[in-house]
Amino acid sequence: MKAYVFPGQGAQFVGMGKELYEQGGESKALFDQANAILGFPITEIMFSGTDEQLKETKVTQPAIFLHSVISAKSLGTDFKPDMVAGHSLGEFSALVAAGAMNFEDGLKLVSARAMAMQKACEAVKSTMAAILGLDDEVVEKVCAEVDGVVVAANYNCPGQLVISGATPAVEEACAKLTEAGAKRALILPVGGAFHSPLMEPAREELAAAIAATEIKAPICPIYQNVDAKPVTDPATIKENLIAQLTAPVRWTQTMQQMLADGADHVTEVGPGKVLQGLFKKVDRALEVTGV
């Protein structure tokens, strides 16, 4: 069974999407449409901007979404997924690629999500940190013992979990997790505490936009971040999308569930190779490719 997976924030690079644009046809038309929808020339930043410009949340999220969705569309009739999933932001790319949402609605939601997250980041001094080499249960337990907001946010693969929260609480958790035997506890260069309770204002802001967006049954099950289960029901997809901003990304569990459900070939659609690497950590023999 073929699984197609879509990356999240952090996979961006200058020059991304330029080849797709230069192919002309539908790819070029969609990029041009995106410039009009967003109200700024995102293609210029993607193709020839600076790393700093591309790192801005309001640019990064739509840029990765565009690269991923247009890459999937460029496959034409070869895009025949038996299952899809996306890491955080990538869940929106997966939904559009699988026909649950149209391109314009998906891009508008991603842009609204980026702006709402940016605002929430500016409201409280917050951050995220990657914890390597500890069992998930140990990380969860230490976070629960720290005063202040700090939670498990991204279950990336066994032995790699990202925590998220208020900066002092994350720093304290890092110190305690290092004592508990973590190989590394590394503060990440991110704008704020994604996938934590500190994103509640963004969740509230985005909830209305998601509720007003038409979502149809996708062409195959989507494994959503919130519970790592396969879903095709539009109402459930909406609920999970709204919950996603403050809930952890259960990517380890998503990969394990996809493999248990018969995935034997995984294709990463979009910039970078992060998700291919994470799947290989779960099953070294798995066939993985990228688009």
Which residues are marked as active site?
88, 195
Rounded alpha-carbon distances, angstroms, from residue 66 to 71, 115, 227: 8, 16, 25
Please give the Cα distance from 182 to 173 (Å, whole number): 11
Enumerate residues 6+ apart whose C-beta is below 8 A from 24.
none
Read off the tokens for 288: 């993985």
- Give the containing element (helix H, strand E) for 259: helix 251-260
Residues in the chain: 291
Read off the tokens for 245: 């901003």
Ordered alpha helix ranges (H), 132-197: 136-145, 167-179
